[in-house]
């Protein structure tokens, strides 16, 4: 093989290598664009997650400060109603017992009057 043939072969291989390097550079450029796009999406996602965390914190605060307190107020009101109901039931039972005693007295006196 002559020097000229070797040089031609070497030039051909260098040319192929340049094509491969150009192709590799294009692929790297495409990859960089995809990475940039991915970074933008991750940044957007981070912002959305931060916003969601803030909203969740607001909801937790509302639950702790307002909802739970209102539930306690309602529960206390129901407890008072329950006490009042129990008192009404007790009074009703007392009245019914007195009425039964009065009915007995009326019957006794009614029988005495009939006997006269």
Number of H helices, E strands in the chain: 2, 0
For residues 98-103, give the mean pLDDT: 92
pTM: 0.49
Alpha-carbon distance of 6 to 82, in angstroms, equals 106
Comparing 16-20, 30-34, 65-69, the range with the smallest average pLDDT is 65-69
When pLDDT is cut at 50, 70 and 90, the band that residue 19 belongs to is very high
Alpha-carbon distance of 101 to 108, in angstroms, equals 11
For residues 54-77, give the mean pLDDT: 89
Q: Is the pLDDT assigned to residue 80 strictly greater than 90?
A: no
The number of C-alpha atoms within 13 Å of 7 and in the hemisphere containing its C-beta is 3
């Amino acid at each position: 093989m002559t020097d000229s043939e070797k040089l031609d072969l070497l030039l051909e291989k260098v040319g192929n290598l340049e094509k491969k390097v150009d192709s590799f550079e294009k692929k790297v450029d495409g990859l960089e664009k995809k990475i940039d796009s991915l970074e933008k999406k991750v940044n957007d996602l981070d912002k959305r997650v931060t916003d969601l965390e803030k909203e969740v914190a607001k909801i937790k605060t509302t639950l702790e400060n307002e909802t739970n307190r209102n539930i306690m107020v309602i529960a206390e009101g129901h407890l008072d109603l329950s006490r009042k109901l129990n008192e009404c039931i007790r009074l009703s039972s007392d009245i019914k017992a007195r009425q039964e005693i009065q009915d007995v007295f009326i019957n006794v006196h009614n029988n005495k009057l009939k006997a006269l």
